[in-house]
């Protein structure tokens, strides 16, 4: 059966309308690229590469010379990500956002750094260094994580492949080996449109998730599902898992406002059954494309246009973040197909008949 997004199955989440693609690339200029690795690493097929890399670029230009406003928010910090300290200190994103598996953080950081240095020969010479942002989830149930199949070149390839097209979702890129709520998880997307001033102005908010958390029991308490059917996935030995949430918007907000919006992603995560367990890294990276900030400037001041927070638009953006996160997680489940991996393990796709219409 062809895997479908939630709305293609006749199920809607929330009240706000989605963008035309219902994915993060509805935010103008955002580029997404995947590299998927799925093949045996040993002749007996006991060890597998079942992993990958996903690249998120806020725009198609030079991200170091034209930075965007960004932030992160950590609900539960069981994770090995890089770049968040400076991201939150300065509120500026100057590299692609990269997603991968836990042990691939060094390789993906190196590959992304090499890519940025190639584009910016002034880094480390006539100007300072660059802050690379990489997030991760643990895919070791299906992926032979100790064999570290992800290499620096895979990060560069994911960046080069990035486009503004409708995002491929499910068991692709960084999501290839992920398990979510006891079924096959991975990459999921959704978007929302927020209209103000009597339909004169519309902002877009898009969400991409890397889902790798939770149990079937949690999923089946969620009111969009029926019955108590459990599949024999055999993931009881899996760790608590994690989720990386990437939020993009074209709304004119600063990093503090953006973090307020990012916090509402936790509402959407909770609606799917998550309680953010002890060993789960539940993290949001958010950015706004409303303007770029030049790395080099002779000016002592810079001008920003910001939304007023006491207007209804901020509440609508909060709602958009919650709705888009919830739907993106569900899309990661409905789009992901059954995958096999290391030690003869298989994780099954979510059966559509469990969904309430």
Domains of the chain: 6-294+307-339 (3.60.70.12)
Nearest to 255 by CA among 39, 90, 12, 115: 90
Distance CA 89, CA 301 (A): 19
Provide mean pLDDT across the span 57-69.
98
Find out whether 78 and 278 touch, Cβ atoms under 8 Å: yes
Specify whether 242 is catalytic: yes
pLDDT score of 226: 62
Q: Which of 230-244, 300-314, 339-353 has the least mean pLDDT?
A: 230-244
Distance CA 78, CA 240 (A): 10
Specify whether 280 is catalytic: yes
pLDDT score of 83: 98
pLDDT score of 200: 79
pLDDT score of 241: 85
User: For the chain, how long is the longest CA-to-CA vector?
Assistant: 64
Helix, strand or coil, per DSSP, at residue 216: helix
Of the listed 81, 274, 280, 332, which one is catalytic?
A: 280
Average pLDDT, the chain: 94
What residues form DSSP beta bridges with 140? Answer: none
pLDDT score of 1: 67
Distance CA 267, CA 315 (A): 14
Distance CA 247, CA 236 (A): 30
Of the listed 139, 240, 250, 282, which one is catalytic?
A: 282
**Token pair belonging to 83:** 């770049």
Of the listed 242, 274, 290, 316, which one is catalytic?
A: 242
Find out whether 262 and 72 touch, Cβ atoms under 8 Å: yes
Run of H or E residues at 255:
helix 255-263
Run of H or E residues at 267:
helix 265-271
**What confidence tier does 216 reach under pLDDT thresholds 50, 70, 90?**
confident
Q: Terminal CA-to-CA distance of the chain, rounded, Å?
A: 18
Does the structure show a pLDDT above 60 at 224? yes
pLDDT score of 234: 44
Does the structure show a pLDDT above 60 at 232? no
Specify whether 44 is catalytic: no
């Amino acid at each position: 059966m062809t895997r479908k997004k939630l709305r293609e199955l006749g199920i809607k989440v929330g009240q706000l309308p989605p963008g035309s693609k219902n994915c993060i690339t509805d935010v103008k200029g955002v580029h997404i690229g995947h590299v998927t690795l799925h093949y045996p690493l040993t002749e007996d097929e006991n060890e597998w590469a079942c992993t990958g890399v996903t690249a998120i670029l806020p725009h198609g230009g030079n991200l170091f010379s034209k930075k965007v406003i960004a932030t992160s928010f950590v609900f539960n910090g069981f994770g090995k990500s890089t770049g968040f300290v400076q991201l939150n200190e300065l509120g500026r994103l100057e590299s692609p956002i990269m997603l991968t598996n836990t042990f691939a953080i060094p390789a993906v950081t190196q590959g992304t750094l090499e890519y940025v240095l190639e584009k910016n020969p002034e880094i480390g010479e006539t100007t300072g260094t660059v802050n690379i942002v990489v997030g991760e989830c643990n895919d070791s149930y299906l992926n032979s994580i100790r064999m570290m199949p992800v290499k620096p070149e895979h990060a560069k390839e994911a960046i080069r492949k990035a486009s503004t097209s409708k995002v491929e979702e499910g068991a692709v890129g960084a999501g290839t080996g992920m398990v979510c709520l006891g079924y096959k998880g991975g990459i999921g997307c959704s978007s929302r449109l927020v209209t103000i001033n009597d339909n004169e102005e519309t902002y877009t908010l898009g969400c991409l998730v890397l889902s790798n958390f939770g149990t079937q029991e949690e999923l089946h308490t969620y009111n969009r599902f029926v019955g108590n059917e459990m599949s024999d996935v055999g993931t009881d030995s899996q760790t608590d898992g994690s989720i990386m949430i990437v939020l993009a918007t074209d709304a004119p907000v600063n990093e503090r406002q953006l973090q307020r919006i990012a916090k509402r992603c936790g509402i959407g995560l909770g609606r799917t059954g998550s309680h953010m367990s002890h060993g789960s890294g539940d993290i949001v990276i958010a950015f706004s494309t409303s303007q770029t900030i030049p790395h080099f400037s002779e000016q002592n001041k810079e001008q920003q246009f910001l939304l007023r927070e006491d207007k209804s638009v901020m509440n609508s953006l909060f709602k958009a973040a919650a709705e888009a996160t919830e739907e993106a997680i569900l899309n990661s489940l409905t789009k992901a197909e059954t995958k096999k991996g290391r030690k003869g393990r298989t994780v099954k796709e979510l059966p559509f008949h469990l969904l309430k219409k």
